[in-house]
Amino acid sequence: MNAREKIIHAAMELFWLKGYNSTSIADLLSRTQLNSGSLYHAFPSKQDVLIGVLETYRDGIEAMLLEPAWSKIDDPIEKIFALLAAYRTMIVESECAYGCPIGSLALELHEPDPPVRALLAQNFDKWTGAIEACLSDARKRLPKSTDRRALAQFILTTMEGGVMQARTHRDVSYFDRGIAQLRTHFDLLQKAAKAKA
């Protein structure tokens, strides 16, 4: 593991735990046992560390997030809820203190430089893209008029909003109720699709 990898690894964790602004270079150095010169040899600036982190998340969505969550699931709609369940596990394991690393960064960085904002958007796009693929696989169980892209974004919304409230109240049940509402929504959609058929 070279210096660059060490820093990215440490930064992924610290940005998630403390946020970007509250993570100092000194934090990264003490965590990695590196000196500042090594860090600045690997990255021109702190923002470039952030960019590296966001690229790593973007490029690792399948292997780090989707594949583990979907290893035992075939049904495309259940894949969606399995992914949400994976986030639930994350919430519980952190005692409701940390949420989605991308969502937190997206709201923390108020005026991000264009490359940073683009990477945040790419992360969201890849996530919703994967969900949209599930919805396409399940298209026969949904009303024909369903806007699958909008519905995929709505699932991201449900996740992020649920995480935000669960974190704020330090109580997973806020997340759970959001998922339950989404389940109701899917039940209604599937019923509507059947009624038309």
Which residue ranges make up the site for DNA (CB under 7 A)? 2-3, 23-27, 34-38, 40-42, 44-47
Alpha helices in the chain (DSSP H): 3-18, 25-32, 36-42, 46-60, 67-70, 76-93, 101-108, 114-137, 148-169, 173-196
The backbone torsions φ and ψ at residue 23, rounded to the nearest 5 degrees and listed phi first, read -95, 115
- Single-letter amino acid, residue 62: E
Answer for which of 10, 98, 131, 138 binds a second copy (CB under 8 A) is 98
CB 57 within 8 A of CB 12: yes
User: Is position 138 an interface residue for a second copy (rule: CB under 8 A)?
Assistant: no
> Residue 6 or residue 79: which is nearer to DNA going by CB?
6
The least distance separating DNA from the CB of residue 30, rounded to whole angstroms, comes to: 10
Question: Number of residues in contact with a second copy, rule: CB under 8 A?
Answer: 48
Q: Which x/- pattern, by CB under 8 A, does the window 17-36 give for a second copy? A: xxx-xx--------------
> Residue 21 or residue 168: which is nearer to DNA going by CB?
21
CB 165 within 8 A of CB 178: yes
